[in-house]
Amino acid sequence: MVNVEYLDGPALHRWLTRAVAELVARRAEINKLNVFPVPDADTGSNMAHTMEAALAEVNNLPAAHQCDITKLTAAIAVGAVKGARGNSGMVLSQVLRGLAQSAVSDRITGRTVQQALTTANKFVHHAIIEPVEGTVVTVLRAAAIAANQAPTDSLIDVLTAATTAAAIALANTPSQLAVLRDAGVVDAGAQGLVLLLETMLDEVSGGTIETSTNPSFQPPKPKALSIKVVGTAAPGSVDMFTQLLGATRITAPTNTKSNPTEQPQQGKTPPKPRSPFGQPTQLARLWNHQPPTIDTP
């Protein structure tokens, strides 16, 4: 087994490509797990779409920029934010935003991952008014804590610690959330996050992906959930998911070109933060292909 000490631009691009492929392959399985907050069986589809949007943004970069970690991670964050669907996609976009803000050198190291998970955890907790335990929020926090308690700050040790803790937290989600326990499933969004961590660990270790959980779940038939929605968005829409968390959905610019010198078209200004969730303070910088700066949410 070959362990790499860091991920450079091409390696990170490979991880992103593999992560998309894994999410697409497991999309139907993750959809079957989706019973919270709305039992509409689309979490796998939403997460796959979010990552596909991130990959598309990267693939639109000039070839030279695809080897530049800061430009690459910025593109990943921009693509994820623009393409985020549903609650799970919005949370995932914040995780990738954390990676972009932590990647300040030419490589992804163990310390980068520690900082990225810590920052992402802060972003998500600041974004969600009342975090619910037993969801992706719980699993992300477990990964962040474990990453920072790894025996060394090597990339393999940090990712191993984070992935192991996330998998354990995932397995415990039914004991924390009654709707999951009643349906006999783990949290769908958390399963998607664990899959992404496992894929990155696999990229670093050079091993074969053996996902932490792959049960043969039957499509659950949960009772309808009673959820208080603030706002007037249509049931099941992306805006409804953001309103569940007391946020306002971003309306991103419609032009999709990624020329770093190109300015947004007249009348299509970069998005401005209007509320915490899904609206990073530096989204305008990312959209304009400027290196993100590290801040504290």
pLDDT tens digit string along 155-177?
999 999 999 999 999 999 999 99
CA 130, CA 228: separation in Å to the nearest integer?
Answer: 12
Cis peptide before 219 (omega within 30 of 0): no
41 residue type, one letter:
A
pLDDT at residue 156, as a whole number: 96
pLDDT at residue 22, as a whole number: 96
CA 133, CA 135: separation in Å to the nearest integer?
Answer: 6
Q: Which residues are 7's β-sheet partners?
A: 108
CA 172, CA 78: separation in Å to the nearest integer?
Answer: 32
Across the range 25-54, mean pLDDT stands at 90
* Domains identified in the chain and CATH numbers: 9-209+222-287 (1.25.40.340)
Contact 90, 84 (CB under 8 A): yes
102-147 pLDDT per residue, tens: 998 899 999 999 999 999 999 998 877 788 899 999 999 999 999 9
pTM of the model as a whole:
0.71
Contact 193, 51 (CB under 8 A): no
Confidence of residue 75 (pLDDT cuts 50, 70, 90): very high
Helix axes 188-205, 9-25, angle to 10 degrees: 140
Cβ burial, residue 251 (10 Å; 0-12/13-18/19+): exposed
pLDDT at residue 37, as a whole number: 74
CA 187, CA 291: separation in Å to the nearest integer?
Answer: 34
